[in-house]
């Protein structure tokens, strides 16, 4: 077992996990158990430290984006000098934008459409239990997130049985569309082209594409606009637009390559009703 110890000023387990960018975690002991792909870690804070215990330190170092200076990012966000954002940055400075597995992110956010977070978490858990491989971590049993190939081999009815509702047919279809060549081609694209390419996948529209480009490709010039962000835009930025594409343009034009960080701060701030 490896142990990664970091300062917790810019790394809060709770805020990083609960801000809506990932769904596979649960409270455990002093912190949380976190699952990504076929891997697991135990994440917790003690005194002024945040600690990761896991078998694959390299994987989770990258997963939690530990190579990046978040003090610098928070300062850049503060420098926009927007009162609401100053407040949000203080509360959310412990959020790290994760580097998540591409396939897992694609399927997870297809499921997220017109859905709420507790139910999304439940659906993903049932998918892992039904199709994932069994693993153990520190004596605890868990299931991996299934491969695209495995998802592609299931019927829409199978997913309906897991409670996906009308999204049942999107998963196998998107899984078949996710070829290795296509995934490889994604990496070379700039963010607007990547977003367009992701939108070709069944069940992936502009908002989900923004989430994938942010949480799997770390494209921080993406700004996903969902119902909560729309609420922030209306109520706090006093925006007039109702078209989500235009709201997206307003935010990305304003925040450029800080868009992803700002979006997460605003989303979390609004959803937690702080």
Partner DNA sequence: CTCCAGGCTTTAG
Partner DNA sequence: CTAAAGCATGGA
Part in contact with DNA (CB under 7 A); list of ranges 32-40, 139-147, 162-170, 185-193 = 162-170
Pick between residue 53 and residue 94 the one whose CB is nearest to DNA. Answer: 94
Write down the H helix ranges in 52-92: 57-63, 70-78, 83-92
Rounded Cα distance, 151 and 171, in Å: 7
Part in contact with DNA (CB under 7 A); list of ranges 69-77, 165-173, 182-190, 251-259 = 165-173
Query: Does residue 62 belong to the site contacting DNA (CB under 7 A)?
Result: no
Question: In the set 204, 216, 247, 258, which binds DNA (CB under 7 A)?
Answer: 204
Query: Does residue 150 belong to the site contacting DNA (CB under 7 A)?
Result: no
Query: Does residue 100 belong to the site contacting DNA (CB under 7 A)?
Result: no
Question: In the set 209, 216, 247, 262, which binds DNA (CB under 7 A)?
Answer: 209
160 is a catalytic site residue: no
Two structure tokens written together for 169 = 């047919």
In the block, residue with structure tokens 């007039």: 240
Part in contact with DNA (CB under 7 A); list of ranges 158-166, 177-185, 186-194, 251-259 = 158-166
Q: Least distance (Å) from DNA to the CB of residue 259?
A: 11
Q: Least distance (Å) from DNA to the CB of residue 197?
A: 13
Beta bridge partners of 49: 7, 46
In the block, residue with structure tokens 């110890």: 5
Query: Are 34 and 40 in contact, with CB atoms under 8 Å apart?
Result: yes
In the block, residue with structure tokens 């979390």: 268
Per CB under 7 A, contacts with DNA among 107-136 are 109, 112-120
- Quick count: other Cβ atoms within 10 Å of Cβ 270? 20
Q: Least distance (Å) from DNA to the CB of residue 38?
A: 23
Output 171-174 pairs: Cβ under 8 A, ≥24 positions apart. Answer: 171/107, 171/110, 171/111, 171/203, 173/202, 173/203, 174/106, 174/107, 174/110, 174/201, 174/202, 174/203, 174/204
Which of 219, 208, 227 minimizes the C-alpha distance to 252?
219
Rounded Cα distance, 41 and 97, in Å: 17
Query: Are 18 and 119 in contact, with CB atoms under 8 Å apart?
Result: no
Query: Does residue 24 belong to the site contacting DNA (CB under 7 A)?
Result: no
Per CB under 7 A, contacts with DNA among 229-248 are 229, 231, 243
Q: Least distance (Å) from DNA to the CB of residue 98?
A: 10
Exactly one of 49, 207, 246, 249 is catalytic; name it: 207
What residues act catalytically? Answer: 207
The site for DNA (CB under 7 A) is made up of: 19-21, 109, 112-120, 160, 163, 165-166, 170, 199, 201-209, 211, 224-229, 231, 243, 263-264, 267, 271
């Amino acid at each position: 077992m490896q142990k990664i110890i970091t300062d917790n000023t810019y790394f809060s387990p709770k805020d990083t996990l609960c801000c809506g960018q990932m769904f596979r975690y649960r409270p455990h002991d002093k912190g949380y158990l976190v699952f990504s792909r076929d891997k697991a870690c135990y994440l917790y804070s003690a005194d002024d430290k945040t600690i990761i215990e896991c078998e694959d330190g390299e994987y989770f170092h990258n997963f939690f984006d530990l190579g990046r200076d978040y003090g610098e990012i928070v300062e850049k966000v503060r420098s926009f000098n927007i009162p609401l954002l100053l407040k949000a940055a203080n509360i959310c400075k412990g959020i790290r934008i994760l580097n998540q597995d591409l396939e897992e992110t694609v399927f997870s956010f297809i499921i997220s459409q017109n859905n709420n977070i507790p139910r999304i978490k439940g659906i993903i858990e049932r998918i892992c239990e039904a199709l994932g491989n069994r693993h153990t971590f520190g004596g605890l049993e868990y299931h991996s997130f299934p491969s695209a190939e495995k998802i592609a081999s299931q019927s829409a009815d199978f997913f309906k049985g897991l409670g996906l509702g009308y999204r049942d047919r999107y998963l196998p279809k998107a899984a078949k569309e996710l070829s290795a060549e296509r995934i490889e081609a994604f990496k070379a694209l700039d963010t607007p082209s990547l977003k367009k390419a992701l939108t070709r996948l069944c069940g992936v529209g502009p908002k989900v594409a923004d989430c994938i480009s942010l949480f799997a490709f770390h494209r921080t010039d993406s700004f996903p606009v969902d119902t909560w962000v729309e609420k922030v835009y209306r109520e706090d930025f006093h925006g007039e637009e109702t078209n989500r594409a235009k709201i997206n343009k307003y935010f990305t034009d304003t925040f450029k390559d800080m868009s992803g960080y700002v979006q997460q701060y605003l989303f979390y701030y609004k959803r937690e009703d702080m």
